[in-house]
Structure 1
Amino acid sequence: MTHIAPDSRSESPVTVARVLELPDLAAGAPEVLCGQDLLGTPVRWVHIVDTENTGALLEGGELVLTTGSVFRHSHDQARSFFDDIEAAGVAAVVVELVGPDGAFDAEARRRIGSAVDGRVLPVVVLHRRARFVRVTQAAHRLLIGEQVARLESARRVHEVFTGLSLEGADEQRIVDTAAELLGAAVVLEDAAHRVLAFNAAGGSVDALLAEWPARATGEGGRTREAGPAGSRAVRLHTPVGVSGRRWGRLVVPDAGSGAEAAAHVLERAGQAVTLARMAAQDRRDLLQQARTGFLQELMDGTLTDPGQALARAEALGMRSAPVYLPFVLQLEPVPGEDPTGLQLRERAALDAMTAAARAQRLPALAGGLRSGSFAVLLGLGSADDVDRRLGDLLDRADALLDGGRPDAAGAKPTSWIVGVGPAADSLSGAAAGLEEAGRTVEVVATMEVHRRPFYRFGDVRLRGVLSALREEPRMRAFVESELGGLLSSEGPAALGFLRVLLECGGNKAEAARRANLSRPALYARIARIESVLGVSLEDADSRLAVHVALLWLEVGGRLDGRR
């Protein structure tokens, strides 16, 4: 990194203790009567007051210098003065108790000590005369210098993170920069408190990340909070993401003594991370739109020139290859899922597939087809061992998505269905196979069990043939003649029972078990269906014809415009 701000924690604020150390004030031999624990309170300004009702003139955070001339001779007046000034929120009060002869006023010290007994407000008495004008000048120089340093530090921090944004820095580089600026560990986590990037700032990575999700706390906007019980750590966090779409947080587990300066650095880092994610999203969306449009042109046949197609693919980031394999991936439905959830899953699957191909050094071009599915053209070195390489790719992508564990039978369920078309030696030839791959996916989606990692058209057998005949008028006429009466009079429940019976091959005992019916109820239903259809289901040819008609409906066939 070429530009680096100084350590933010070195810019300590002007506190009560620092003002008491000024030479002109230290010459007065200060004695702290109360509020010793609050000497680290920051001072906003320094005022000299020697009047009653001083609280109305103050705004809070001031260090007040006074000779006590209006209250030093009366315990009640002293108590009233300190009540008034404490209510105004001052940082501390310094009282010079020196008489006209230059001697310390011990009696006044006794009265004031009694009046401030038990207070948390820092009250300091001076045993010798101090030059208040010179004290205020010196203190104000410190305060102004602190404000200038703070502005200069903010400017440098702004320049650093603005530069990172203009350079297109990623999230890890921004986290590294924030950790270097702060001299403290920084963690970028997502909404589920999973660590996306971190920098331990030279400390122990194990100690930083141990049980991180369980230790992560706090929500909402920028927050300062105490660290773990028994520690003096100051924990800071700021959200990342635009308002209403917060996707994570930047966290500093221990900001040290410079928490205020660290909060500013963390906030600017959070803004830079948000901009980096938005810029990456915009670039990815534009690229994905271009890839999808290119695939659509290939599939529609509007782009037929092989040289132009190859040049377009290379311009979109896909290297040429001897063989191209087309396949379509469709996500399994999730009950109750809304369109946004499906879109997010589709994006995650697309990203995983692209990352898996990149990791295996395979050229690939992917684009959306319809909601929940996308097409891929995969470049291979040869047509040999295609199944193994495609299986490895899908396993890698599934692992990136943290795929499911094997079930009791040893099979690993996947969250998608993959249909594969025939490989070709050109992009346009492979794109033509995407239609077959898409049809295969649609057929597989109608099957109750699909454990293969991918399917070809030949794997779906009769269902595949029937799928190709979905729009065939003669097939529609056949189905109407076989099932017409049942469709118009009995409804879905009868079709469901008929399907169970046919899948059992006419075995009534098995059908009764699967349908949870008694034998008399089963026979009554079969008799009713046979009466409506006008055929006997004891006849193997009749069962076959009716079963084919049912399968045609399942793979997407339509009667009278309705499925």
Structure 2
Amino acid sequence: MPFLTVADVLRLPVITAGLPRVAAGEEQLDRTVRWVHVTELLDPASFLEGGELVLTTGMPHPSDPTQLRAYVDQLADVGVAGLVVELGRRYQQAPPELVGACRERDLPLIVLTRGVRFIEVTQTVHALILDAQGELLRRAQHVQELFTSLTLRGAEAEELVQTAADLAECPVVLENLIHHAVICAQAGRTDGQVLEAWPRRSRTAATPDRAAVSGPEGWLVAPVDERGSRWGRLIMLPLASGPPFDPEHTMILEQAATALTLARLTGRPAWDRRAHSSVLLDLLHWRYRSRTEARLRAEALGLPTTGHRLLPVVVDHTEATRGGTSVTDHLAGELPTSGVKALVGDLSERRTGLLMALARASAWQPVVERVARDLRAVFGEGVVVAVGPSVTELGEVTRSFREAEEVADAVGPASWGRAFHVASDVGLPELLYSLRDDVRVQKYVERQLGRLVQHDARHGSDLLTTLRAYLDAAGNKSIAAKHVGLSRQAFYQRLHSIERLLATNLESGAQRTQLHVALTAFEALHGHTAGHPFGEPPP
């Protein structure tokens, strides 16, 4: 950062010639020097604005320790960068009362043991400050042009926040009004370190009207608005070992916050939904370096993970929206009103993921059934709700989510009547439905049933229905004939035709098993209701 600090001034030749010694405020030498002010007044505070390095010979300093302490308090209250006292004219050594007062106020006190020309100090330091201010103006123009370019090409919020973090070399967090960390851009520290106990820490820092330092941790905070009202805020966190924020940090954060505000003016970016989706996908594929990082990221979005039962749910939906509202947006709006804390996000174009946090002693089935029935009422019967096993550790969510996805893949139209589905609901029809895109399954169906399908197509017959009835009756011809409404003789003739076409023996249990699997797979491939490949069952 192109700003002069007290430590920088002490390294200048014009100062080192005076053999400077730091007598107090050693930990505050990284303060920015905004200007140099030479004064011998007893009440200089009325001429100062803060950030000045005050030079004095100490000539007018009072001898009374109380008045000397009041002099130091004035300087500290106005926020000067430091006090430089030249020895030799008034003092042969720094008075203990002056040193003690500066230490109490943590004000840098520099003693020059050899005389220097103050005019040379002011000229040198002011020239460097003006150069730094010119550099700041050039940097400000560059930063403004960069964020303007990002805004004009419609950059996403993640890129805007990351750009701010890269420019400032500090972590930057975008959060909403309820203190959920929507985006966290790293710079120098991991997400885990930045987001530790995030909601609690965030509430201790107030939101100023414009970028300013706030809170006990010294965060730099800038508001992010939407159409005249507050949406959230952008927060820059100081590095533990780095210097405090300077005007360039403030300028970067203000430009980034303005770009985010403009982004919200162009529409209603689903930043919260994208944040939820990102965490859910990272959990599904376990992209975290540790369980702690995963826990902190989830908790930063408002999901309690300790002392709760975590329930992964996958929702498949054929319609992306209904009345302009997507399944994901509908769930995100409805769940909080019912008191359910959850992450809700898109896993794919037609699949929504939920990770619910429920009380360990509560039953999850009523909650899921209520969610499922609400979705089917709004978006139709084609909505499939698949539930993975509940877990108590976030590290176990990945396995449970994958099981829920496997269940969702297996649920076909034949099973749409259930409100929700779990792994135990996956039988042979569901298994074959999940394998419907496998070429080997398709070839198997063709080898087993191809001739029968072709015969029905050419002759308008329904031998497939006859075969299904026979197999469902476990080979009992009388029951099967009655089910399809045929005489036993007519039914027997159809069975002989099937045996001839397929070159099989229907009396063989093994042969019937093969045909049963093939016919179930055929129904899965063609989306028919199980047991009735050509429509509804006869009355």
**Where on the TM-score scale, by shorter chain, does this alignment land: which range?**
0.3 to 0.5
TM-score normalised over the length of structure 2: 0.47
TM-score normalised over the length of structure 1: 0.45
